[in-house]
Structures are given as structure tokens and as C-alpha cells.
Amino acid sequence: MGILYVVGTPIGNLEDVTLRALRVLKEADVILCEDTRVTQKLLAKYEITGKQLAPYNEQDSGVTAGKIIGWLEEGKSVALVSDAGTPGISDPGTLLVQKVREALPEVKIESVPGPSALTTALSIAGIPAHEFVFLGFLPHKKGRETLFKEIATSERTMTFYESPHRILKALESLQKFAPNKKVIIARELTKIHEEIKSGTPAELLEFFKANEEKVRGEFVVLVNPLL
């Protein structure tokens, strides 16, 4: 039987990769990637060449879980990575792990931990991180309002991921439902333009409206709990 490795990769700075991750990627028979071109950049930096890369995304395209289970039965070592951070955290991975556990309980599934935007943001936000709720990407419609009401009244730090297209919308919702909360925006973590900005939703809206060039890149939003 093969082994399935679930490998954390950088969220921006390509130096943020563990020695073990590099060894596992070097030795894997197949590397399952969200986007092979993204993973190729990481492999090229560390001169890992000649690997079989296969797209995997838990949806309709890419290799199927059945095919991967076949590889594991043949004894292959398979490494799963996503474009950035930890697979399974708002990224493909969970279903594959579930299916492999069900179909091949004897196969070892090993984590090769690495960065995640969530823990990276929490580590430098300067708000309580001993207890927090992670909401992933917020729904665009159904359940959105309820979540913002929860964010407004939570006694735990609330965190979510947001895209540049929707960050202003999220801040507007926070202004509506949680106007007095301290909000932290962690942007472009580990990259050249890494920035932490904090304030009330209204202050942050004003800042981002005045600095449109900063409504770009990747964002983690953290909301201080009611203390």
C-alpha cells in the first residue's frame, strides 16, 4: 500500500516550506495539485524535477478519488498540495482524505504541516487567539446576515477569508451589524506588501476607499471578541 501525504506549502513567501515537505515532494510518485502551474513554481525553486503532477480539485475536473485510490493500492506515494497553505483549509483535500480512509483504512495518511493564512494572521493580529471561530469564506447570500449577527455578539475571536472583490462588502456588513467592533485586516501575509490594518469597520472602509491600490491581494479578516 502507498502513503497519502497532505503537505502544507507557502502562502506567499516560497521560503516558508519545511525540509520535510521538500523531501516528501521530491520522493513522491505523484503530486496532486490544485493548479499544476502554481506547484511547478515551488518545485522549480527547489530544483525538484521530473515529477508526475496531476490536477486534483474535488470537483468534476482533474483526477478522480477513484484513480488516486488505485495509485495507493499499487503502492504509490501520493502527495497532495494546494495552491497555498494547508490542504483542506478552504481548499481541496477533505473529501479525498475521507474517501481514502473509507476505501483503504490500512493506507497511512500523513500530514506534513506547513503554513496557513489563518494561523499566520492570528499569530500577528494582537487579539485573543486562544479561542477563535473560523468561518472560511462567508456565503454570499443565504445565512450571511445570521453570520454577521453572530460575529457581532461572539465572545470568541471571529475569523474569515475574503477576496479582494468582496472585502469592501464584508466591511460594509460589519459596519451594519458590528459597528463598534475592532476589526483586523491581515493582507498579503508573508509577501512584499504584507500589512496589518486595524480599526472599526467605518475606519477600515474609509482607509480602503482612500487607498484603492490596497483593495488587492489576499485578506484574512479577524474580529475582536466582546470582552
Q: Among 117, 151, 134, which residue's Cα sits nearest to residue 223?
A: 151
Nearer to ligand SAM, 69 or 185 (CB): 185
Nearer to ligand SAM, 90 or 200 (CB): 90
Nearer to ligand SAM, 176 or 216 (CB): 216
Closest approach, Cβ 121 to ligand SAM, in A, equals: 7
Closest approach, Cβ 136 to ligand SAM, in A, equals: 8
CA distance 35 to 61: 11
Nearer to ligand SAM, 117 or 205 (CB): 117
- Give the alpha-carbon dihedral of 122, 140, 215, 58, to 10 degrees: 70
Closest approach, Cβ 35 to ligand SAM, in A, equals: 11
- Residue the block writes with cell 521560503: 15
Closest approach, Cβ 48 to ligand SAM, in A, equals: 21
Distances (CA, A) of 118 to 24, 121, 124, 170, 186: 24, 5, 11, 17, 9
Q: Give the residue closest to ligand SAM by C-beta.
A: 85
Closest approach, Cβ 106 to ligand SAM, in A, equals: 28
Name the site residues for ligand SAM (rule: CB under 6 A): 11-12, 82, 84-86, 89-91, 116-118, 161-163, 186-191, 218-220
Which strand (E) or helix (H) includes residue 66? helix 65-73
- Give the alpha-carbon dihedral of 78, 55, 65, 104, to 10 degrees: 10
Nearer to ligand SAM, 169 or 191 (CB): 191
